[in-house]
Amino acid sequence: MIARIEGTLEDVIDGVAEVRVAGGLVYEVLVPACDAGELLARQGREVSFFTLHYLESQGQGSHFAPRVIGFRSREQRAFFELLTTVKGIGNRKALRAMQVSHARMAEAIAAGDAKFLATLPEIGKRTAESTIVELKGKLDPFLADPTAARRAAQVAAAAASAVALPVGPAADAEEVLVALGEPRVQARAKIERVVGAAGGESLGADEIVTRALRTRGVG
């Protein structure tokens, strides 16, 4: 296995760095999207990559081509290996998705920030959500402050699960039901059912209360 490559950076084209090593050999090294711009400025200079070597399927699996992926640090490589354990994220997809630093991605995943993750190449809403679920609790080595990240995730989860407070006629109806002895949580749940079943029909507070009382036996 090729674990590390050091040499002169000849060029960077479409996410592939060409590195000339001792003896005149030139390796094609796939690099994360976040590193391509920085590497362009280092052409002609010595570079070092921590690497992963794998076989890439070609021709619908009829044969395999050897590939080398290069990372600027061991930590970045370890994060990439973790990211590719997520279902649906292969090596190429992960390289394109890493448009920001691995630390920023880890922070977003740990915080449950699916909205941010979905803005990255190759990571849509569904993949963002599955990434958060599958990597939960595995990101501490990549976080500057794991405790803060967990707190952020808890806040995000609470916000996502919070029920919007009733407004207008619905709020008035809730107060009437509570005055009639209905627990507030149940009153709100019944109002939500009534409003949802109305299908956009404009209901006054009295009508909401009347319909909600018909469901008195529903918890």
Is 24 within the bounds of a domain?
A: yes
Give the structural domain span for 187: 169-213
Phi-psi region of 168 (alpha: psi -120 to 50; beta: other; left: phi over 0): left
Helices first, then strands: H and E counts in the chain: 10, 5
Give 13-48 pLDDT, tens digit per residue: 999 999 999 988 999 999 999 999 999 999 999 999
Q: Above 80 in pLDDT, residue 60?
A: no
**Confidence at 163, pLDDT banded by 50, 70, 90:** very low
- Residue (of 52, 55, 31) closest to 42 by Cα position: 31
Is 218 within the bounds of a domain?
A: no
| Among 42, 72, 102, residue at a domain's last position | 72
Residues 80, 21, single domain; the answer is no
Structure tokens at 50: 């921590």
More confidently predicted of 162 and 96: 96
Long-range contacts of 111-114 (CB under 8 A, 24+ apart): 111/149, 111/152, 111/153, 111/156, 112/152, 112/153, 112/156, 112/157, 112/160, 113/152, 113/156
More confidently predicted of 89 and 175: 89
- Residue (of 179, 176, 215) closest to 196 by Cα position: 215
Handedness of CA 55, 84, 122, 145 (dihedral sign): negative
**Confidence at 1, pLDDT banded by 50, 70, 90:** confident
Please tell me the least confidently modeled range out of 25-34, 48-57, 97-106, 196-205: 196-205
**Confidence at 153, pLDDT banded by 50, 70, 90:** low
- Output the pTM of the full model: 0.66
**Confidence at 218, pLDDT banded by 50, 70, 90:** very low
Is 116 within the bounds of a domain?
A: yes
- The residues near 81 (Cβ < 8 Å, ≥ 6 apart) are 52
Residues 91, 148, single domain; the answer is yes
Structural domain total, the chain = 3
Residues 27, 90, single domain; the answer is no
Please tell me the least confidently modeled range out of 8-22, 52-66, 74-88: 52-66
Residues 147, 93, single domain; the answer is yes
Angle at 155 between CA 119 and CA 135, to 5 degrees: 55
For residue 198, the model assigns a pLDDT of 82
Is 60 within the bounds of a domain?
A: yes
**Mean pLDDT across 74-91:** 96
- Give backbone dihedrals phi and psi of 144, rounded to 5 degrees, phi first: -65, -35
Residue 130 belongs to domain with CATH number? 1.10.150.20
**Confidence at 157, pLDDT banded by 50, 70, 90:** low
